Structure 1
Amino acid sequence: MKKINWYYNRLKAMSPAEIPYRFIQLSKKHYGRWKYSENTSVLELDSNINLSKKGIDETNKRLENLYYKDFLSVISKQENLKIFNGNISIFKEIDWHQGSEGFQWDFKSFSFDIPFRNSDKGEIRYTWEINRHLFFPRLAALYKQTGQEEYLKILKKHFYDWVDKNPFYKGVNWSSSMEISIRAYQWILTYSILKEKNSKFTEDLLKGSINSINYVMKNLSKYSSANNHLILEVAIASIIGFILEPVYKQDWFQKGYHILEKEIPKQVYSDGVNKEQAVHYHAFVLDILIQYNIVLQKKGDSPLHEDTLYKMTKFLGCLSQSGSVPEIGDSDDAKIVCFGGYTNYYQYLLQLASFYFRKQFIISEKIYPEIEFLLGDIQSINLEYIEYEELSLFEKGGYSVINNKDTFLVFDTGPLGFGGLAAHGHADALNIIYNYRNKPVLVEPGTYIYNIESEWRDYFRRTDVHNTLSVSGDNQSEMQGPFLWGKKANAILENVEKLENGFLLKGKHDGYDSSIHHRAVCYLKKYELLIIADRFDKEADINYTFDSLVQIKQQTSNSLIINDELYLNTSSDLQIIEKYVSNKFMEKIKSSGLLINHNFINNPVHYTIISPYSFVLKDKCIVINNEEINLLKLLGE
């Protein structure tokens, strides 16, 4: 019954034009099941590929212009490749069908007959991460750097082993167009590094890329599935199309360009916030689009939607001012290029954007090799320093960011997510993120998992694990599947006031039907004082989730001390409870949080006050350093 309900709700999320498209795609898959019932290598899908010397020479010239070859001296020789909560050795044989927790995927069955969603068999993202081949360019670079044949030998062994054990349309590694495109991109980058060493191996890298992208362009993630997947697919296909045009005639570059031209404004607000309401996918899209524009510029074309990309970077840079970027919405820690072994994706991306735009969005101690590979010699580039405002408003995307002295704050008044699915959104309307002295205090819970452990998938999207109000454990928006939402809360930023000594923000949402949740967030610079005022019309819970490193000591029934440096008081009694946070995909750790039950019928407003200065909350007044602050007057209640 649960599966039937999911199909019904998924169908409801489709537009009328999407339904016949899905049936056409289904019929193509059935045809593919018959046509490729016998094992067929990805190298043999198109028998008309003719890699002439002239074509290869022209392709190599294009690559010489696109990618910088003198980055090689800083590539790490580390053997272990971290795959979420595990490690694999890139110098040993790899099991391409291993799932999480020792699970093995069926590698003989038709790709679309293998269920990997809504089950507890194994997290498919673990398997796909290995099969993206992000480490292939690294092995090629190590060979070029050292001249040691062992690196080339193991790279060739991995490639042909993968080809042999992943016949077309068999196993889980052919079930996602985005995964196929990312893998083909790694093959092209690997070829770029090894292009002078023309051999059967390098030619097979080209053949594999051609056949992979041929499939991708016929099976794009369209309609309700057209989120970051579509942008990644067509951007990569367009880049590869330009590179391989001399050896294989196709129109991937033009098709990809035109889709991106239309799709970027559909998926990104005018203020630069990605409509998926997930910071990681905001970055993921920005990453490939900057790479795409680098290619456009190097081939002599004008960049695409340059102003939008700049605004996207400014938003990400603004979020980074706390010392770490908060993971609002879903994240699966995905990367597009990573052969130098960087561990902080946002630092890498902001550095790439800094050298691309010649603006210093972030201060970095070292230059990542991926940046030089993509942009060329950047040693002589002077960056203009970017100064972020104390209050940055992204009203379309729904984020207000305060960055003053030791305080960093994000107030979320954005929508649930993008399109009918809102696939990567969380039920977090009017959520607060709060850092003090570059240390996270009130945090986003994270994501943890996607396709297995459905209770945990739901847990990290729930309203009551975010720093906002909930009613009887119910969510503001209706979960209908791991990437599917039904009824959605509508949130808005009602008012913004720049006070003489701070800022006042007011928002509301309608996720609890006729009962509207109003939240005012006030920050006073003088005492680094944070005031959160919640207004509602029935009994409800105020929820807070602390970072796992936060130390709390309860002082009274409604007050506590955080990290021996912050005082927190609430109008009603607070209860310290156990919570979980996930800072990395497939990893979760215990943390703590607050549960504050408040009867809004008897007392229409609940206050949460935080400051590094000791204060007293009494009769809707704060007394701090002998100064009295009238909350009703301050907040205009």
Structure 2
Amino acid sequence: MHADGKQSRLIWYANRLRSMSAGEITHRFTELAKKRQARGWEAGWAAFEMPEGPLPALPGRVDLHHADDNLLAGWRKLAASARFRRFSFLGQDWPDADNASLWHFDPVTGREWPKERYCFDIDYRHNEDYGDVKYVWEVNRLQYLQPLAALAAKGCNGGLKEFIAAEIESWIDENPPYLGVNWPSGIELSLRAITVLVVVRLIGGAAFEKKLLGKIRAFFSATATWLDRYPSEFSSANNHLIAEAAGLYLIGATLTDHPESACWAKKGRAILEREVEKQILADGIGAEQSPTYTAFTLEFYLLAMRAGEALGAPFSAAVYERVAHAGETLSWFLDENGHCLRIGDDDEGRVLFDDPARDVRYVASVLSCLAAVCNRPDIAPAAAPVHFRNLVLGGPLLAKEKLRGVKSFVDGGYTILRDEIAGKPALFAMDHGPLGYLSIAAHGHADALSLWLTCDGVPLLADAGTYLYHSGGAWRDAFRGTALHNTLTIGGEDQSRIAGAFNWSAKARSKRLEIAEVADNFFIAASHDGYRKSFGVEHIRKVRRTGEATFEIIDRLIGDGDEALDVQLGFLAGEGVEIVQTNGFFAFISQGAPRMCLEPPEGSEPRLVNGAEDEKLGFISQRFGERQPAWQLVLKTRAGPGRRLVTRLRLL
């Protein structure tokens, strides 16, 4: 490891320790002792071999009758690519691995991660030698096999079953427990196990030779043993814990002749039951402050819930009610075309896989399944393409009525206006909630009091997105930071202080102050204290609807002093939107037509930015691993407590 990698590792540990309670520190030392003890276990599959028995499969049925020609065409395309190992994930195309193992190959560096090293001895967070571990993990989820198995089950075999069996056997042979980079992360173990359960359900045990049947049973045994041994707890108990619990429950419920199976199923189910009211807040907002991570968490729940139904042991009414409530809330964040507001992190994590082009509207797709599982057609999205997950979970159900009005979420901290404005459907949102979930708020962004605005599906005011995680470095910080969000920045500093790719050393606290929940007279006021320590002020933002198509945004600082501070307001346009200055106003243009006019605060110095690499302004990331220049209006001025910065918007 390079010196820089060692230093970043030490900094990471220091920042994580600051975020831990005394109880978590004790837990981490206990966990470390267990990891060291397991290093002495004999490597390989022998310890997990089982007598002959049934091959575990996902409980329930997959309704392939709803697989239309478009879906089948996408699956054929995926099959053709997979057979030649032509993968494209997370904005990266996989080159030919030559003689390297696919399961350990990094497509960016062209190097192999260590294959014979104990998994917890591999520093996958801060190792520049091998690349960003997310890439190798993505392929190792084996999720590309799901639609291939569905295609084979539809009778379009052509050697597909043999190919799928060979891929699974190759993975097992090249990844003995617990060696290599594919064993330290519980969420990866769970997603991989779910894939194999889905595949077996689709093509049946007869597709596998007798020797491979035993290997797969050992694979499930080793996976569940590790999931049971190292659950994500305390500050890590977010979507990772839900993934691990779902995997443990599903393996325990299907590998029924294993002596620990009942304990695994009971433990996984108990975690899912316990956590639903923590992961989903009382108002239905996902605790991680990211609609896509909420959908990801819900997808695990929906799969487990369908399995429980198929096994004759459905989950409690409380789980169905909280999951449905999350669906109700998510529906407010989707526009008329089924596109969801980008908020917080999105790394394109999926449980059930299909052609990535069908997951552009991922949240809507999950919501369409949720409406079916919870028997709530009233909360279905307005639009969602048929997806493989619909064949497993149900749907797609689509909304018959349009959401209109004002909805404010006190716990999660968002207020949303949906209305017909200038004859077009509009969605306006403001953030006044917590930074994220638990002590590290891993997937939140420093976007307090930020705004989003879509009109007729056009993202006039948009979130920058995610771009990258560990390998992003300064770019990771920029996409999480305040300046790339539609809010106010003081002195070039973020509202919340970044302390690593998934951590913060200080968090802004937001609160809603006033609200008028009437569409015609919409008004929202909120504040945050993120700049109190550094600059002695708090930021208050008020948004008022002043006419049928006009809004007024008033930003103000409050504090004890009277010093004027360097202030910057940012307005970032989404994909396909250009910002043009004309006569002191700024037109937001889509497809050659003006869609919104912005009048900046009096006395501010406007600047239009598009792809400023040095400043890291004027960018959006529509997909993980990709970033594109975008138009951003930056308004600079000096303001002290008491000065009102008034920005006016008119939708056209």
- TM range, smaller chain: 0.7 to 0.9
- 1:315 aligned residue: 329
Written as runs of structure 1 = structure 2, the 5 A alignment for 1:41-440 is 41=45, 44-47=46-49, 49-52=50-53, 55=54, 63=59, 65-68=60-63, 70=65, 74-75=71-72, 76-78=75-77, 79-80=80-81, 81-88=87-94, 95-104=102-111, 105-121=113-129, 122-146=131-155, 148-195=157-204, 197=206, 199-200=209-210, 201-246=212-257, 249-250=260-261, 251-304=263-316, 305-323=319-337, 324-339=339-354, 342-344=358-360, 345-356=362-373, 357-360=375-378, 361-364=380-383, 367-375=386-394, 385=400, 387-405=402-420, 406=424, 407-440=426-459
CA distance in 2, matches of 1:545, 1:212: 44
Instruction: State the Cα distance separating 1:384 from its structure 2 match.
Output: 7.2
- 2:614 aligned residue: none
8 A Cα contact 2:579 2:586, kept in partner? no
CA distance in 2, matches of 1:176, 1:156: 24
- 2:613 aligned residue: none
Q: Which runs of 5+ in 2 are unaligned?
A: 1-6, 82-86, 559-563, 611-617
CA distance in 2, matches of 1:401, 1:117: 37
8 A Cα contact 2:419 2:519, kept in partner? no
SS of residue matched to 2:345? coil
Instruction: State the Cα distance separating 1:87 from its structure 2 match.
Output: 3.8
8 A Cα contact 1:72 1:144, kept in partner? no
- 1:483 aligned residue: 502
SS of residue matched to 2:272? helix
Deviations 1:239-281 (A, max 9, x none): 2211222455421111112112222212221011111112211
Instruction: State the Cα distance separating 1:518 from its structure 2 match.
Output: 0.3
Deviations 1:393-413 (A, max 9, x none): 111100111111132111000
Question: Which of residues 17, 20, 31 is equivalent to 1:25?
Answer: 31
8 A Cα contact 1:187 1:209, kept in partner? no
Residue 123 and residue 394 in structure 1: after superposition, are their counterparts in 2 closer, same or farther (change >3 A)? same
- 2:477 aligned residue: 458
1:40 aligned onto 2:44: yes
CA distance in 1, matches of 2:64, 2:570: 52
- RMSD, matched Cα: 2.6
8 A Cα contact 1:404 1:525, kept in partner? no
CA distance in 2, matches of 1:384, 1:299: 30
Residue 459 and residue 500 in structure 1: after superposition, are their counterparts in 2 closer, same or farther (change >3 A)? closer
Instruction: State the Cα distance separating 1:358 from its structure 2 match.
Output: 3.8
Residue 215 and residue 598 in structure 1: after superposition, are their counterparts in 2 closer, same or farther (change >3 A)? same
Residue 552 and residue 245 in structure 1: after superposition, are their counterparts in 2 closer, same or farther (change >3 A)? same
Deviations 1:522-542 (A, max 9, x none): 22452x112211011543111
Instruction: State the Cα distance separating 1:602 from its structure 2 match.
Output: 8.5
CA distance in 1, matches of 2:98, 2:12: 41
8 A Cα contact 2:407 2:517, kept in partner? no
Residue 524 and residue 309 in structure 1: after superposition, are their counterparts in 2 closer, same or farther (change >3 A)? farther
SS of residue matched to 1:449? coil
Range that drifts further, 185-194 or 101-110: 101-110
Q: Percent identity?
A: 26
- AA in 1 matched with 2:597: Y
SS of residue matched to 1:568? strand
- 1:608 aligned residue: 647
SS of residue matched to 1:507? strand
CA distance in 2, matches of 1:457, 1:89: 25
Deviations 1:163-197 (A, max 9, x none): 22222222211120110111011111111122251
- AA in 1 matched with 2:608: I
8 A Cα contact 1:561 1:567, kept in partner? yes
Range that drifts further, 550-559 or 570-579: 550-559
Residue 475 and residue 116 in structure 1: after superposition, are their counterparts in 2 closer, same or farther (change >3 A)? same
SS of residue matched to 2:513? strand
- AA in 1 matched with 2:76: K
8 A Cα contact 1:435 1:442, kept in partner? yes
- AA in 2 matched with 1:547: G
8 A Cα contact 1:581 1:590, kept in partner? yes
- 1:580 aligned residue: 619
Residue 143 and residue 558 in structure 1: after superposition, are their counterparts in 2 closer, same or farther (change >3 A)? closer
SS of residue matched to 2:114? coil
CA distance in 1, matches of 2:205, 2:255: 16
- 1:626 aligned residue: none
Residue 144 and residue 384 in structure 1: after superposition, are their counterparts in 2 closer, same or farther (change >3 A)? closer
- AA in 2 matched with 1:96: W
CA distance in 1, matches of 2:554, 2:625: 35
Instruction: State the Cα distance separating 1:14 from its structure 2 match.
Output: 1.4
Instruction: State the Cα distance separating 1:91 from its structure 2 match.
Output: 14
Range that drifts further, 349-358 or 382-391: 382-391
Residue 211 and residue 403 in structure 1: after superposition, are their counterparts in 2 closer, same or farther (change >3 A)? same
8 A Cα contact 1:279 1:328, kept in partner? yes
- 1:630 aligned residue: none
Instruction: State the Cα distance separating 1:3 from its structure 2 match.
Output: 4.0
8 A Cα contact 1:185 1:209, kept in partner? no
